[in-house]
Amino acid sequence: MFRDHTPVVIEEFNGWWQRGSNDSCPLDHFQQADNIQYFYSGFQTRDPIDKYQNVGSPLGNIVRVFMYTMQTQESLLVLVQGGDIYHVKSATVVLGPILSIATMTDFNAVSWAGRAYITPFFTDSVDNYEKGLQNQFLYVYKGDGTAARKAAGDPPTGAITPANGAAGATDFGLHVFGVVFESDTGWLSAPGGFASFTTSANLSVSFTTVPVSLQAHIVKRHIVATKVIIGFDGNLDGYQFFFVPNATINDNVTTVLNNISFYDIDLLDDASHLIDNFSSIPAGVGLTTYHGRLVLTTTYTDISVAYASEAGEPEAINQVDGVMVVPLDGKPLTNCQEYRDVLYLYKQTRTVGYSDNQDVPATWQMFIVDEGTGCSVHGIATVLDSGGVNVDYLLIADINGLMLFDGSYQFPPISYKIESYWFTLNKNDFEFVQVANDSLKKKLWITQPNDRHQLIHMDYNEGLSPDKVKWARWIFDAKISSICLINIDDLIIGALAPA
């Protein structure tokens, strides 16, 4: 009966197919491909998992894991249920909690000069979207196990007392003097502690009652001054201030600084931009870097606003000049990422871009990239320690699928083969979707909304196109909550609880 039958030869298995009806599945795909990984022209059982923490009481009930790049090594920041963040420095060293906020249900973080900047956020149960926690802030962690502190800080209070010093040289006339605090992370406060004084041409200036700070992170204080003011109206803080050369106190104790000479022509380093900076930076959702600036989005009160810091000063965010407002549509910003010299801001179904014009961020012109495709809060695939950028593209998890972005979104989605499965994911729970991309082994993993206990695995060794990638599901006896890569290609998997 089968004498004339021509056998079907499947030379290569191309993975999982979940698109359309069962009859649409190609012969070289399966409708189910669980707990497997791929090699050239074949597949095998996925690698087993090992316990990463080799300590007496490993962290459990893990909500979110981020890779934190210190100056000496890579490590992990781990949020557990209840709102505690720990610093997992290695398999045998766990520090903390370094930050505890009971209402924090998620967080975002970026590494900067060996420090970690951390923003706590939550999901608003009424509107079902993520925004920064009310009455909470951006935090900075120095990596040494001491508790993270609020980024930035309070300006000086009280009043400095200027007086004539020894013989020296200043421009004769009325100046206003003040003080700027500097922190152990290089943050500079707004000027404060103002006092007016008429300098003498042949004398230096000495200062007493220099304000000190009650903030433990203040390590230096700088004297600032106006140039000579003609027609002084008594408004102490309404003028342009400059750092006075060689007028720095390298501690937070000394209250006297004697015999400082300077001419107005020496006042070059402007301090006025510090006046409008946040003393307490509100918590947000999105966090990234762009052109040496820290970018934060989606605070509790401003869900369509992004803030950018001064270049090189992540804790100096100007409340006027550092603001970018995305058109208001009732939907919050969800993510942000630099790519090809452009800052991209995302909502769930919208993508816009900003380009640095070498002026303040408030002057940057916005342009629309896509009004139907966006990104989830953790939906940009992380690549090693470079954020989401992988040479020439981003991989972005959107409600439409896993998208390849190279300045525009490429269709069909990379997840074309499993489109039917992707559309079963609850679009209101995409905050649980997190993507990790091993660009060396050309493998990618995606967590799913928390009603599932599995990862989606993608192999793209034969090409990053919808027809070339191979998919599989990795199923566990635990509720998978978060993933990240460390030490180049070690996949870290966090779980909330046994299934």
Does residue 446 belong to any structural domain of this protein? yes
- Domain boundary, last residue among 236, 256, 274: 274
Beta bridge partners of 179: 192, 223
Beta strands in 329-460 (DSSP E): 335-339, 342-347, 350-354, 366-370, 382-383, 394-398, 401-405, 409-410, 435-438, 443-447, 454-459
What is the pTM assigned to this prediction?
A: 0.93
Q: Go through the chain and tell me how many residues it has.
A: 499
**Cα separation of 401 and 412, whole Å?**
9
Residues 178 and 266 in one domain: yes
Does residue 412 belong to any structural domain of this protein? yes
Q: What is the mean pLDDT of the chain?
A: 94
User: What is the SS3 string spanning 425-473?
Assistant: CCHHHHHHCCEEEECCCCEEEEECCCCCCEEEEEECCCCCCCCCCEEEE
Report the pLDDT value the prediction gives residue 392, as an integer from 0 to 100: 80
The residue range of the domain holding 228 is 161-274
Does residue 307 belong to any structural domain of this protein? no
Residues 400 and 491 in one domain: yes
Report the pLDDT value the prediction gives residue 449, as an integer from 0 to 100: 77
Q: What order do you get walking across the sheet with 161-167 strand by strand?
A: 161-167, 203-208, 257-260
* Dihedral (Cα; 459, 464, 468, 474), 10-degree rounding: 20
Q: pLDDT tens, 205-251?
A: 999 999 999 999 999 999 999 999 999 989 898 899 999 999 999 99
Does residue 115 belong to any structural domain of this protein? no
Beta strands in 19-105 (DSSP E): 36-39, 42-45, 62-69, 74-80, 84-88, 94-100
Q: How many domains does the chain have?
A: 2
Does 385 have pLDDT greater than 60? no
Does 388 have pLDDT greater than 60? no
Does residue 54 belong to any structural domain of this protein? yes
Residues 79 and 183 in one domain: no
Residues 406 and 499 in one domain: yes
When comparing pLDDT for 119 and 391, which is higher?
Answer: 119
Residues 165 and 60 in one domain: no
Nearest to 122 by CA among 63, 178, 73: 63
Q: How confident is the model at residue 382 (pLDDT cuts 50, 70, 90)?
A: confident
Task: Using alpha carbons, list the distances in angstroms from residue 281 to 11, 86, 139, 316, 340.
Answer: 58, 22, 8, 9, 28
Does residue 112 belong to any structural domain of this protein? no
Q: pLDDT tens, 9-19?
A: 777 889 999 99
Residues 405 and 483 in one domain: yes
Residues 83 and 176 in one domain: no
Sequence-distant (≥ 6) Cβ neighbours of residue 57 within 8 angstroms:
none
- Domain boundary, last residue among 242, 274, 306: 274
Give percent of the chain above pLDDT 90: 86
- By the 8 A CB rule, do 336 and 294 touch? no
Does residue 311 belong to any structural domain of this protein? no
Report the pLDDT value the prediction gives residue 273, as an integer from 0 to 100: 87
**Cα separation of 141 and 149, whole Å?**
7
- Domain boundary, last residue among 274, 292, 311: 274
Does residue 225 belong to any structural domain of this protein? yes
Give percent of the chain above pLDDT 70: 97
The SS3 assignment for 499 reads coil
Q: How confident is the model at residue 348 (pLDDT cuts 50, 70, 90)?
A: very high
